[in-house]
Structure 1
Amino acid sequence: MSPHAPVLLAEVLEALEPKPGDVVIDATFGAGGYTRAILETGATVIALDRDPTVQPYADAVANDFPGRFRLVRTPFSGLAEAFAGSGAARLDGVVFDIGVSSMQLDQAERGFSFMRDGPLDMRMSGEGESAADIVNTWEHGPLAHIFKLYGDERQSGRVATAILRRRAERPFERTLDLAEVVEKALGGRRGAPIHPATRVFQALRIAVNDELGELRAGLEAAEATLSPGGRLAVVTFHSLEDRIVKAFLTERSGAAPGGSRHAPVAVETRKPSFVLKFKGAREAGEAEREANPRARSAKLRAAVRTDAAPWGRIAA
């Protein structure tokens, strides 16, 4: 059994339309849920993941589908290089499943969860600055900024103050330690529908892994790498991610550039690089939401690559 159930699987397959001979990039391999379903259609999959702990799942997939699967350990920003290294002539599909996986949350030693005691880590790749590094070294302003920007925490300043006060006594090392300090700073649970530390932990995870920067880089790489007629499918789980994907696809499917009568802008007319597969976002049905709580906030957006030149960089 996979420790991570792929969300909106049927809808993703419908958007990708994989078939024998196609080459598809699964940009978030995880436990291989999307990858296996795509391989079962006869397509070839190049899977990406920066998390080294997924290797056993990749080995199992490679054993079951010899010659049609390879895993490249890289974040989204390495998508174009991963495809170039595959030797494939064309790219027919790319799928992204954004955010943290169930198995990462379930592994206390990874430090993603405020419900399980573990080292305050949160690094998907196991490399670079950890969550403990951030809360123990960043100043008040930058801490409050990420809590507000990435976590939508209204009392971000109060939380940052509490963190600085506590770390002056001793550094943070464990997840439950930080969760307790955040909870006290916000006045306890008081019947709140979510744990008080939810937004702060989300913000730290996004900052540690540069998730929004990697999403932008991945979308840029998919646009540059997909062949004409290639399909793009992106599953998001919160508004920050969805806003980036929505803006990207809205703009590059032909929305007019902005401007005003007071400050008109001269913008070069560019041909749409994508055509939307459907308007808006698809969401999970009632049965899937009941079976998999993670599906409740999921949104799928999808588009087809045209033969126009890529637009390039996404504004932050």
Structure 2
Amino acid sequence: MLHRARISFALITLVFATTINGAFISTKNALRRTSMIDTNYHQTKSVEMIRCLVNCDVDFSFKDSVIIPSSCRTYSNAGRCGVTFEMDYVRKTGSASFAADNSTDIEFETGLVVDARFSFEPSVERKALWSYECATSNDCASKYFQKYISHYIELTEQLETLQNLMSSLLYNDSNLPTVHQCYRDRDTFEDCQSGICTYSWEAGENSTTRYMCEPAKVPVNVYYQILRTDPVIPVSPILDEVRYVCNTNKCNSFEYGVGIRLVIAEKWGGILDTNSAATNLITGSRYALLSVSVILMKFLC
């Protein structure tokens, strides 16, 4: 679903629900739409109607050829076409839903958002919800799905590697407490005996970072959201977001946080139908990039 508070636009949704750091991500298998955009970039314009596949749901296994079933024959003329697909990279299964929307008045041709969650306990989980919208041509969403679904399936190994890289810093599977201190801001830390550390970051002109110690009740996990449009919406911020829970000592440090963000930016795997390369997730000072060079060598070498 293409969303977040100040930059949200028409979205199609699919069953995908999980609790992450107390925040509930939920999408229902219904054509729920929102249209919210910063008032500095809210325009009313005539929408050119295109043909879109609607009322079509697909379940598939990664080991099989993925095709849109012949029973999907319902089309609608709309301003935008869309598809959402949930991918379970552990069970190697997926599901997709196609829909159309007329309410969007944001000037972009294509938009892609991913909500991804990696859990390390009590069992390993790797799930991602991808949502794609387009206003380029008839059947553009279904064409995108048919052209690129193999790309998203092939991310299985890449995202497993990503989880392993994050696990090496954030997760200790010992039964003994391993957290003694957590950062409470970039430069200072607090005692956190037998607890967990948390880190959250949201992009923007004034990006927000939070560091906390909490009771050891939340499973170790990483969540991220990345939004990309083509052309880029000239409004700030594009609300990329990263949150994680970790159980190694001082694991919510500034350096670890930037390292996690950088490795996600390297491995997230998103593409648009223009074949443009994935845009870097993180923006920041030269100092920030240099300060994690050791971590990145561990990650990427």
The question of a shared fold, defined as TM-score above 0.5 by the shorter chain, is answered with no
More strand by share: 2
When you count helix as a share of all residues, which structure comes out higher? 1
Larger relative contact order, structure 1 or 2 (CA cutoff 8 Å, min sep 6): 1
Give the TM-score of the pair, scaled to structure 2. Answer: 0.28
Q: Give the TM-score, by structure 1 length.
A: 0.27
